Amino acid sequence: MGMNKNTVLAWATWIMIIVGIGLIAMGAFRYTEVAGYGFAAVGIGFFAIAWVFNALKGRV
């Protein structure tokens, strides 16, 4: 069972979603000052990149 390009993009999408949720959770619950906004913004950026990876499946 080999991993083709679509499988790699699917795994990358899920990993990016998990990391994005973790970063948003850290921004919401761990850091209550201004640093929390930065963590949440980076988490949203991870969601955007995961969305791009998901859109690329089947096209690359």
Statement: residue 60 has pLDDT above 80: no
**36: number of CA atoms within 13 Å, CB side?**
9
Domain range summary for the chain, segments of one domain joined by +: 5-56
Distance between CA atoms of residues 54 and 26, nearest Å: 24
pLDDT in tens, 10-58: 899 999 999 999 999 999 898 888 888 999 999 999 999 999 988 888 7
Written as six digits, the tokens of 55 are 């859109």
pTM over 0.75: yes
Compute the chain's Rg from CA coordinates.
14
CB within 8 Å of 46: residues ≥ 6 apart: 16, 17, 19, 20, 23
Written as six digits, the tokens of 51 are 């969305």
